[in-house]
Structure 1
Amino acid sequence: MIGGIMRADASRNLAAVLRTGARLLAEDPSTSISAIASEAGVDRTTVHRRFATREALLSAVFQAKLDSAERVLDEARLTEAPVAVALHRYVEGIIPVSREWPVDTRRMMRDHPGTRHRREEQSQRLNAFVQRAADEGYLQPGVPLAWVRAVLDHLVDSIAHQFPEVDPPQAADLVVDTLLRGVGKP
Structure 2
Amino acid sequence: MRADAARNLSSVLRTGARLLAEDPSTSMAAIAAAAGVDRTTVHRRFANREALLRAVFQAKLDSAERVLDEARLTEAPVPVALHRYLEGIIPVSREWPVDTRRMMQKDPEASARREAQSARLSTFIQRACDEGYLRADIDAAWARAVLDALVDSIAHRFPAVDPPQAADLVADAFLRGLGVT
Picking from 74, 87, 91, the partner of 1:92 is 87
| One-letter amino acid of the structure 1 residue matched with residue 29 of structure 2 | S
Q: Tell me the distance in 2 between the aligned counterparts of 1:108 and 1:134.
A: 31
| One-letter amino acid of the structure 1 residue matched with residue 3 of structure 2 | A
Give the deviation of 1:106 after TM superposition. Answer: 1.5
- CA deviation string 1:83-115 (max 9, x = no partner): 000000000100000000000122121233321
Picking from 115, 123, 127, the partner of 1:128 is 123
TM-score (norm 1): 0.95
- CA deviation string 1:44-100 (max 9, x = no partner): 111101100100000000000000000000000001111000000000100000000
Q: Determine whether 1:143 maps to 2:138.
A: yes
Q: Determine whether 1:102 maps to 2:114.
A: no
- Deviating runs (4+, > 6 A) in structure 1? none
Q: Tell me the distance in 1 between the aligned counterparts of 2:109 and 2:78.
A: 31
Q: Tell me the distance in 2 between the aligned counterparts of 1:97 and 1:113.
A: 22
Picking from 37, 42, 46, the partner of 2:37 is 42
- CA deviation string 1:8-30 (max 9, x = no partner): 10000000000000000000000
RMSD over equivalenced CA pairs, Å: 0.9
Q: Determine whether 1:119 maps to 2:114.
A: yes
TM-score (norm 2): 0.98
